[in-house]
Amino acid sequence: MSEAEILEQLFSTFDRYWFIVQWWASVSFGLIMIAYFAAEKISALLLGTILGLYLIYTSWVYMLLVYNVDIGAGLLADLNSLSNSDELKTQGARVALENPFVIYGTWLGNVALPLTFFACIGYLLYAYSHARRNT
């Protein structure tokens, strides 16, 4: 692949990663809203169903994110190969290859996703038990 094709694919992967994260975050905040506004109306069966579906959905999203990170790593390796053979022509490609923010962003995503997942689950369980305690 050419440098331009690699960069196009790389940024397409970044966009796809960001879209997945935004969608998952929306679902997570929806779960927080359910916990805040409807905890007293949720039955144990519905609580278990919500928790199970959120666990399955989060697992699926995490697998998609890991898949996209692996694709991005492969594309960065392709750029690195071009760089090693002195075929890298643009400064933009050099910055894409050498900028540490991609690695930091991946690391932060790997920390933020599980923490958000456990925070949402914890808050839902807290709101559910708090609503039952007050009735």
Of the candidates 122, 119, 120, 33, which has an alpha carbon nearest to the alpha carbon of residue 130? 122
Residue pLDDT, tens place only, 38-70:
999 999 999 999 999 999 999 999 999 999 989
Q: Residue 71's pLDDT is what?
A: 93
CA angle 118, 24, 13 (to 5 degrees): 125
Please name which of 93, 69, 90, 68 lies closest in space to residue 79, comparing C-alpha atoms: 93
Quote the percentage of the chain above a pLDDT of 90. Answer: 67
Q: How far is CA 5 from CA 1, 8, 71, 84, 104, in A?
A: 6, 5, 14, 18, 24
Q: Which helix (H) or strand (E) holds 48?
A: helix 44-84
